[in-house]
Structure 1
Amino acid sequence: MAEERSPSNSNNIEMNLTAYGDSKVTQVGQINAAEVKIIVDRIEPVLERLQQISQPESPGVLKGGNPNKSLAYWQGRKTEIAQIQQWLTDKNTFLIGIEGIGGTGKSMLAAKTYDENEGFPKRFWADVSYGAGFSDLARQVLSEFGFPVPEQEAQLVDALVKCLQSGQYLLIIDNLESLLQPDRQWGSQFYSDFFKAWVECGGNSKVIVTTRERPELKGFEWLPLKGLQVAEGIALLTALGIRGDLGDFVELVDGHPLLLKLVADLLKEESREDPDLRRLADLGLGNLRQLLTDPKVIGQHRRRENVGMVLVLDASFDRLSELQKALLLNISVYRGTVDSAAAVAVLPGSSETGIERELRNLVKRSLLLEKLNGKRRFEFQPVVLEYARYMLYKAGNQTEAHQRAINYYLLNVKPAPWQTKEDIKEYLEIFYHWYQLENYDTAFDIFIKCDNFLTFQGYYTILVDFCVQLREAWKKTGEKETWKYGFVLNELGNASQCLGQYEQAINYHQQSLEIKKKIGDRNGEVDSLGNLGNCYNSLTDYPRAINYYEQSWLIAKEINDRNGESNSLNNLGNAYTSLEDYSNGIDHYEQSLLIKMELGDRNGESNCLNNLGVVYRILEQYQQAIEYFQRSLHIQSELGESKMGERRVEANAWLNLGGALVSANRESDALGAYRNARELYQAMELEKEVKLCNNAIERLSKPKTPVVSRRGFWVWLHRLWRWVCSWFRQ
């Protein structure tokens, strides 16, 4: 059972609430300049939050698939719908933007467009309000539209553009402002690259975005969305059961849809017998007209709709029970949707059934939205979320709420090994909450838990998001000369290299190397020098790569870092092999192999054997190559259930063995090797490698036509001639 409602809010100005019966919008007396200033000072911090671009909360969560938005009270927007329909049929329009302040109905207009445009055979809705990475969006869209997902993250932009070019699809990206920095620049370069590429290439597909702020990007057709027209606002309030001078009120709030809905739901909950606008005076909103028309309140930069929103949210919040207030504020620390179990976690001592009932009561007041998808889940309107988070901050309860959220996720983490990003979603949320608490060292520890998995799975943009946040945080706190800061720079370099951004990767590794030299981290120097060598190796600058590898090897020897020695020797083997200096390549691989065997690093041993097999196959010494590949696979079989990186080593060994067996004319054995490789690559969702295996299997499975060599032909002809001569003699 809900608690009794609190009769007043200490933040509100006490007024004599005696309604004028004939007034258009109830106005109770006049408040003086001092009282106006108190109100302005109180609402100003909330208004600043509403008018700013939210910082990307990445690594974020993508809510994709379809809008799941109720259009039960839809009214009007005929002009706007007609404009969007015109753009959707225009062959020269590829990007459509719906722009407006929070609560104007941008998402609802996009949802109606999504629902009513069946001319697009496939549609996808992507809500990026929590800073979702481009990688997640591209992967989900490609999968939904039936297109292969490339292994390399750097290929996702091109893959998504080609996907949209190939058919007539509709992609809607909701809450785009969450991907922008305060200067309206992109938080993620991949989004910028995608939009630029799509504008340049275009096709029959359409991309629609909703946003509070326009990005610095050309090629959009923009629809600035205002409030509802007076007749449309009257129709909405009437449909919601509200009485009174509806037209005057719609004009007063500029037809702002969310504000109209909040006022209507507040009246229906608090004055069920008589939901008339005159009752606003009884709810602390008797001076709404004066405040929304007073130049001291609106000022030069405050929008009337935002001022009205804060005043109405204040009144709505004031009428909640203490339990409902605590519930609304505490669940605001979460990202995305929450269920009753998550809500109970931040509000202990309550029953899950009771909490779900109160969550549904908050839905009735339009303070939350309800999602029904197997299980009841709830989420905030973006404007209400900013309000709730400010109120939680003001109450000083942020730390406790975030800590409880962390404990909730810790109870639900999935143990390794993980297969998909979904398996580590709890860790992503735990990182977010520690980061919000400014406990960056603990956030770093959570990042380390996911680091290898994200690397092997190819989620490089998520790695970049993690690292950039930590780097910026430590720069602000002045903690730039620590091994953790150097490690983060190193990971940024590795991720940038995997994304094909080699110059940027070199810059990160150079910064990391300088820090490690300053703090005397010799093992870190070995890693950074090796990574610089890897970058130059990727740029085919092999002499410079060898120089860095040799520096790395010498330091590793000096400090007796046997694993570092082995890795440096293996890297030198790669560089010399690329230079076609095979004897040097073999020599370094063999030295690396001996150290791996000494250390008992079975997976490293397997990798060295595989590299040796590759060189001997190049040298056409196929039997020796086959033996190395088989030894590598034997180790993998001994290791048993492998982690992602080890599975990749095993898959590569099977693929290489298949090639060597073909070269040795053992094609039936090669067929089995390729099938084993394909099975492993399929499990890792590596489409390029799967295709490679399929091509090899198809080629080997075709029936062979006997081919007679030139020498064989003359031998056969000579034998035929001898037989003919013998026959004549007889």
Structure 2
Amino acid sequence: MLERSTKIESPGVLKAGNPNKSLASWQGRKTEIAQIQQWLTDKNTFLIGIEGIGGTGKSMLATKIYDEIADFPKRFWADVSNGAGFSDLARQVLSEFGFPVPEQETQLVEALVGCLRSGQFLLIIDNLESLLQPDRQWGSLFYGDFFQAWVEDGGNSKVIVTTRERPELKGFEWLTLKGLQVDEGVALLTVLGIRGDLTQFVELVDGHPLLLRLVADLLKEEYSQDPDLSRLADLGLGNLRQLLTDSQVVGIHHRKNVGMVLVLDASFNRLNELQKALLLNISVYRGAVDSAAAVAMLPGSSAPEIEEELRNLVKRSLLVDKLNGKRRFDFQPLILAYVRYQAGDQSEAHQKAIDYYRSIAKQPPWKTKDDVKEYLEIFDHFYQLQDYNSAFDSIRICNDFLTLRGYYVDKVELYGQLVSKWEEIGARENRNYQAALIFLGNAYDSLGQYQRAIEFYQQSLEISREIGDRNGEGKSLNNLGNAYNSLGQYQRAIEFFQQSLEISREIGDRNGEGASLGNLGNAYNSLGQYQRAIEFHQQSLEIKRDIGDRNGEGASLGNLGNAYNSLGQYQRAIEFLQQSLEIFKEIGDRNGEGASLISLGNAYNSLGQYQRAIEFLQQSLEISKEIGDRNGEGASLGNLGNAYNSLGQYQRAIEF
């Protein structure tokens, strides 16, 4: 377990800002620092990798570089050990460095590369192995594209990564980090207050920094008056030398990990029962936790008692203390692997974590991904429990929000995991499986990967036909039509919409019938057959009114308005769009309201009433910002630019 890199399966929230690691007892590494400094000044080196087994101090070396290397006025630290998606990383880096954040996820790679090319920035990505699959391929979309693009384009900025495993990617300068030199290891133990035959011990453990620190902290905690290496025998580590030099233990990596397990066993066995329970239970969490999260795992203990024990575990180097506004506690990855192994079945702890996150989950409205992080954690815990239906339910709560905010890659990873598992266990009749296929298709569609979207819509269609679900079949056909419409294959799209329409009429699904007619109208509108489009939108409108679907009625009126706008009948278009706007206001559909305001703005712009157009577009911009619709916000800004351009206010137009 210690030697294996752990891929975080579901996306988490990025841990970013600064390294938050203490360099108080830093020793040596002069050769390694000199090598990295050379690469940092080399104009042909853009990407630097620090590789090594767990506990060799990769993150600490990167922290030293981050804190002390000059010539980089702006720098950013990103810890991706929690499975952070590329979108989170790119958005935060762009914001931190003062660059605009594009509304489309697919534009983020280009935007980040452009940002790094424009100045002299330092970007450090810590714990990269969390993003790699067992075959060393990327488990998260866009990371590979970014590194490839950065290697090809380069610039004055530098990107440094730390990892236990190299990705399959050319263009890196690699530093393989080993243990400390003997004199450096002796200096570290001396600074930590340890006595005895230091040279012999450092040689024995190959100068492994984490192992040296664990031994030092164990001795100081147990024998504060006399922390001498000779005391290791009293702690059950008398045979450490014999075990580490055993001929059956082959290879330096294995030796270090054997030593690590022996020392961790000794440390763990010396803990009191509360400390053991605390470690075992909080290891179920992803990322740093505060004392409240720890108390939720052991409800019988008081908060001050838990806080004190957490700090005691920090003294033993079994936890890391992070002070960034609020005190939080985290595991070093190697120690986390050990503790989870000790914990065994963590079903009960996962359930407690779910209950805790439910108790603190924020209610809508949400503005940032951070506002829904509890739901992402609940998803992960249900997923670990193999309760895939509950995992699906937990993420469906914030599905619309993730769509509105443009977190399509997160949706791909979340629904993709569920689809893979349901496929594996043969849950074809599970309605959630079908829904997940559609959500996955929708996410790929939003990313512009229409061919991939079609694959999942096709699977959904096949399952619906197999189990005789005519309603699901109609929806799948509609989705396929929308994807082909996006590809510009309007005739193919029309065929799917027509089939969907026939099924809806056959089973008496008036809502589905209205949706199919509306989609047919959109397809004919794309073909420039505006009169034909109007006929379909008119039929759709009648059905929506007939069944009392006010939202659908508003959408049909909006589509009619857009079609008349395309015909140049602006006054007629405005009448329909005004009705659409009133309905959306009445039912409180802020998204629809914003869309109607944009269309009205465009119609008035076409009429030459630019000031009136600006008023509508300004209102739509305010709504988009309020509901967190980044896509709508971008559209409003672009159209405001067009209106000011028409007014001849070019500088203002450029700003928008």
* TM-score, scaled relative to structure 1: 0.86
Match of 1:689 in 2: 635
Determine which of 38, 57, 63 is the counterpart of 1:111: 63
Deviation sequence 1:32-82 (CA, Å, 0-9, x none): xxxxxxxxxxxxxxxxx1111202231222101111110101111111111
Match of 1:231 in 2: 183
Match of 2:414 in 1: 466
Deviation sequence 1:117-161 (CA, Å, 0-9, x none): 241121111101121111111111111111111111111111111
Does residue 672 of the first structure (1) align with residue 620 of the second (2)?
no
Determine which of 131, 155, 168 is the counterpart of 1:203: 155
Does residue 388 of the first structure (1) align with residue 334 of the second (2)?
no
AA partner of residue 171 (structure 1): L
SS of structure 2 residue aligned to 1:208: strand
Greater mean deviation of Cα atoms: 282-291 or 630-639: 630-639
Asked if the contact 1:66–1:125 (Cα under 8 Å) also holds between the matched residues in 2, the reply is yes
Larger Rg: 1
Does residue 184 of the first structure (1) align with residue 127 of the second (2)?
no
Give, in whole Å, the separation in 2 of the partners of 1:659 and 1:694.
9
Asked if the contact 1:677–1:693 (Cα under 8 Å) also holds between the matched residues in 2, the reply is no
Q: How does 1:621-700 map to 2 (within 5 A)?
A: 621-640=569-588, 642=589, 646-647=590-591, 649-683=592-626, 684-686=629-631, 688-699=634-645
Asked if the contact 1:167–1:204 (Cα under 8 Å) also holds between the matched residues in 2, the reply is yes
Deviation sequence 1:166-187 (CA, Å, 0-9, x none): 1111111100000001111110
Q: How does 1:349-368 map to 2 (within 5 A)?
A: 349-368=300-319
Determine which of 6, 9, 31 is the counterpart of 1:79: 31
Determine which of 294, 304, 329 is the counterpart of 1:378: 329
Give, in whole Å, the separation in 2 of the partners of 1:611 and 1:151.
24
Give, in whole Å, the separation in 1 of the partners of 2:641 and 2:81.
42
Give, in whole Å, the separation in 2 of the partners of 1:429 and 1:599.
39
AA partner of residue 508 (structure 2): N
Greater mean deviation of Cα atoms: 177-186 or 54-63: 54-63
Greater mean deviation of Cα atoms: 553-562 or 247-256: 553-562
C-alpha RMSD of the superposition: 1.6
Deviation sequence 1:497-530 (CA, Å, 0-9, x none): 1111121111111111111111122111111111
AA partner of residue 139 (structure 1): R
Asked if the contact 1:228–1:256 (Cα under 8 Å) also holds between the matched residues in 2, the reply is yes
Deviation sequence 1:569-608 (CA, Å, 0-9, x none): 1110010011111111001111111222223322222222
Match of 1:132 in 2: 84
Give, in whole Å, the separation in 2 of the partners of 1:595 and 1:224.
67
C-alpha displacement of 1:488: 1.6
Deviation sequence 1:391-426 (CA, Å, 0-9, x none): 111xx4x11111111111111112223222122111
Asked if the contact 2:294–2:306 (Cα under 8 Å) also holds between the matched residues in 1, the reply is yes
Does residue 325 of the first structure (1) align with residue 276 of the second (2)?
yes
Greater mean deviation of Cα atoms: 339-348 or 667-676: 667-676
Deviation sequence 1:631-682 (CA, Å, 0-9, x none): 1111222223x4xxx42x3222222212211332333322311221232334
Greater mean deviation of Cα atoms: 462-471 or 540-549: 462-471
Structure 1 residues 232, 690: CA separation in 2 closer, same or farther (over 3 Å shift)? farther
Q: How does 1:307-706 map to 2 (within 5 A)?
A: 307-393=258-344, 396=345, 398-640=346-588, 642=589, 646-647=590-591, 649-683=592-626, 684-686=629-631, 688-699=634-645, 702=648
SS of structure 2 residue aligned to 1:64: strand
Structure 2 unaligned spans of 5+: 651-656
Give, in whole Å, the separation in 1 of the partners of 2:648 and 2:625.
23
Deviation sequence 1:322-380 (CA, Å, 0-9, x none): 11000010000001111111101011100000000000000000000011122211000
Give, in whole Å, the separation in 2 of the partners of 1:524 and 1:450.
22
SS of structure 1 residue aligned to 2:301: coil
Asked if the contact 1:674–1:696 (Cα under 8 Å) also holds between the matched residues in 2, the reply is no
Determine which of 206, 209, 214 is the counterpart of 1:262: 214
AA partner of residue 601 (structure 2): G
Asked if the contact 2:610–2:644 (Cα under 8 Å) also holds between the matched residues in 1, the reply is no
SS of structure 2 residue aligned to 1:76: coil
C-alpha displacement of 1:306: 0.9
Give, in whole Å, the separation in 1 of the partners of 2:423 and 2:489.
33
* RCO comparison, higher one (Cα < 8 Å, 6+): 1
Does residue 293 of the first structure (1) align with residue 241 of the second (2)?
no
C-alpha displacement of 1:199: 0.9
Give, in whole Å, the separation in 1 of the partners of 2:195 and 2:39.
38
Deviation sequence 1:222-246 (CA, Å, 0-9, x none): 0000010011001100000001111
Does residue 158 of the first structure (1) align with residue 110 of the second (2)?
yes
Give, in whole Å, the separation in 2 of the partners of 1:620 and 1:693.
18
Structure 1 residues 627, 118: CA separation in 2 closer, same or farther (over 3 Å shift)? farther
Give the fraction of aligned pairs with identical amino acids, expressed as a percent: 65
Match of 1:43 in 2: none
Asked if the contact 1:675–1:697 (Cα under 8 Å) also holds between the matched residues in 2, the reply is no
Determine which of 242, 252, 256 is the counterpart of 2:204: 252
Give, in whole Å, the separation in 2 of the partners of 1:622 and 1:496.
35
AA partner of residue 413 (structure 1): A
Match of 1:240 in 2: 192
SS of structure 2 residue aligned to 1:69: coil
Give, in whole Å, the separation in 1 of the partners of 2:551 and 2:64.
54
Number of equivalences: 647
AA partner of residue 357 (structure 1): E
SS of structure 1 residue aligned to 2:283: helix
Give, in whole Å, the separation in 2 of the partners of 1:522 and 1:170.
55
Asked if the contact 2:610–2:647 (Cα under 8 Å) also holds between the matched residues in 1, the reply is no
Match of 1:57 in 2: 9
Determine which of 214, 232, 235 is the counterpart of 1:283: 235
AA partner of residue 699 (structure 1): N
Structure 1 unaligned spans of 5+: 1-48, 705-730
AA partner of residue 121 (structure 1): P
Asked if the contact 2:602–2:639 (Cα under 8 Å) also holds between the matched residues in 1, the reply is no
Deviation sequence 1:664-711 (CA, Å, 0-9, x none): 23333223112212323344344532431441353365589xxxxxxx
Give, in whole Å, the separation in 1 of the partners of 2:134 and 2:52.
17
Asked if the contact 1:177–1:211 (Cα under 8 Å) also holds between the matched residues in 2, the reply is yes
SS of structure 2 residue aligned to 1:222: strand
AA partner of residue 85 (structure 1): Q
AA partner of residue 575 (structure 2): E
Asked if the contact 2:441–2:456 (Cα under 8 Å) also holds between the matched residues in 1, the reply is yes
Structure 1 residues 168, 484: CA separation in 2 closer, same or farther (over 3 Å shift)? same
Match of 1:728 in 2: none
Give, in whole Å, the separation in 2 of the partners of 1:620 and 1:594.
24
Structure 1 residues 118, 599: CA separation in 2 closer, same or farther (over 3 Å shift)? farther
Asked if the contact 1:57–1:130 (Cα under 8 Å) also holds between the matched residues in 2, the reply is no
Match of 1:31 in 2: none
Asked if the contact 1:483–1:516 (Cα under 8 Å) also holds between the matched residues in 2, the reply is no
AA partner of residue 279 (structure 2): L
SS of structure 1 residue aligned to 2:488: coil
